[in-house]
Amino acid sequence: MKEVINLPVKNIEEEEYHINMGPQHPSTHGVLRLVVSLQGEIVKSLKPHCGYIHRGIEKMCEKDTYPQIIHLTDRMDYLSAHINNHAVCLLVEKALEVEVPERVKYIRTIIDELNRIASHQLWWCSFGMDMGGLTCYFYGLRDREHILDIFEESFGSRLLHSYYTPGGLMMDIHPNFQKGVKDFIKYFRKKIKDYDDILTGNVIMQARTKGVGILSKEDAISYGVTGPSGRASGFACDVRKHDPYGVYDKVDFKEILGTEGDTFTRYMMRMHEMRESMKIIEQLIDNVPAGDYTAKMKAVLKLPAGEYYQRVEASRGELGVYVISDGNKTPYRMKFRSPNFSNLSALDHMSRGVKIADLVAIGGSLDYVIPDIDR
């Protein structure tokens, strides 16, 4: 007679197991590794592992002079390169007590908003692709191309511009710049209706995003989730409104706040923000004052000894630059408070108890850029 051995049989369906999502996964938008603990298809917890694209930008800044630092900040959040440059320029100008010409402030504000629209367009295409709609990707990139053409004509490059310098701009805007921007606004006002038709009203997209990944206002504040993702939870955190820089105090725009805090609200925040950005550009583009494109600056910039902090509203949230200077031409310590890093920290809280397919939707709605997380 055959002997029967009773091994302790584990119930595979109830046991938790771990899978690696990333570092090479299309929906993580870069080299981010998420160790997801799953029970069946339900996400139990999640642990992000950062550092795959760490280049030590903060340390590299310590050997560079202040004008040289600008080109490194391009490489953090490459989709809002101008806004990162703006943060460092504002900090140096604040520390040296330099008053930049009005023309520079107007041009910087216009370019920041163009950069924000371009960034949200790319977010829209990739979010559509995360949801399974490849058509969105082509339509978004097609419209983004118009902004990149304007950038290329004026500053010579498409993604990493290094256009701002402490005290002003690298060169004056191209004579065709204003006409190009006005044509783009006219064009994009028509095309943004297509965005709503294709994705916003789509029943599949709404079913997958409404009520998924809810983040309450209290959690958004305690995790430091800023930008459109924080505003979707009702956290009024727009730096442009509450701590204005450039000419944001002279233009009329709304800080749109959501109430639900789910993935669909985060989606709608960015769609509204593109329209608000167009409104800001329309108010400024005809009123750019004449004048110099840069203030008079010394050849070697030495910040007085002390600590300085400057924050701006990047397209994904609040970007802060903190500098300790010891009076030399290079900073003693430089620290960036990058919006994506704080936004990523809330991903674990938001995605507990959802299906793994919804994790892709939540991650897409947070719109993280990995080089900004790792720096």
Q: Which residues contact another protein (rule: CB under 8 A)?
A: 64, 67-68, 70-72, 135, 142, 145, 152-157, 160, 162, 165, 170-171, 174, 194, 197-199, 201-204, 206
Min. distance of Cβ 157 from another protein in angstroms?
Answer: 5
Torsion angle (degrees, nearest 10) of CA 200, 206, 211, 217: 0
Min. distance of Cβ 174 from another protein in angstroms?
Answer: 7
The answer for 289, left when phi > 0, alpha when psi is -120 to 50, beta otherwise, is beta
Comparing CB distances to another protein, the nearer of 155 and 184 is 155
Collapsing DSSP states into helix, strand and coil, what is residue 318?
strand
CA max distance for the chain: 101
Q: How far is CA 126 from the centre of its chain?
A: 14
- Is residue 341 within a helix (H) or strand (E), and if so which, with residue range? helix 339-345
Helix axes 102-130, 81-96, angle to 10 degrees: 150
Residue type, 245: Y
Comparing CB distances to another protein, the nearer of 160 and 268 is 160
Min. distance of Cβ 78 from another protein in angstroms?
Answer: 12
Tell me the Cα Rg of the chain. Answer: 23
Min. distance of Cβ 193 from another protein in angstroms?
Answer: 9
Cβ atoms of 316 and 372 closer than 8 Å = yes
Comparing CB distances to another protein, the nearer of 171 and 236 is 171
Comparing CB distances to another protein, the nearer of 8 and 201 is 201
Distance (Å, whole) CA 232 – CA 240: 16
Apex 32 CA angle, 27 and 35, nearest 5: 95
Comparing CB distances to another protein, the nearer of 155 and 264 is 155
Comparing CB distances to another protein, the nearer of 162 and 351 is 162
Min. distance of Cβ 274 from another protein in angstroms?
Answer: 17
Over 22-91, what HEC string results? CCCEHHHCECCEEEEEEECCEEEEEEEECCCCCCCHHHHHCCCCHHHHHHHHCCCCHHHHHHHHHHHHHH
Q: Where are the beta strands (DSSP E) in 55-202?
A: 164-165, 168-169
Min. distance of Cβ 142 from another protein in angstroms?
Answer: 6
Min. distance of Cβ 106 from another protein in angstroms?
Answer: 20
Sheet holding 17-21, edge to edge: 17-21, 33-39, 42-49
Min. distance of Cβ 323 from another protein in angstroms?
Answer: 17
Cβ atoms of 61 and 72 closer than 8 Å = yes
Comparing CB distances to another protein, the nearer of 67 and 230 is 67
Apex 314 CA angle, 145 and 337, nearest 5: 135
The answer for 372, left when phi > 0, alpha when psi is -120 to 50, beta otherwise, is alpha
Comparing CB distances to another protein, the nearer of 124 and 235 is 124
Min. distance of Cβ 15 from another protein in angstroms?
Answer: 37
Comparing CB distances to another protein, the nearer of 98 and 170 is 170
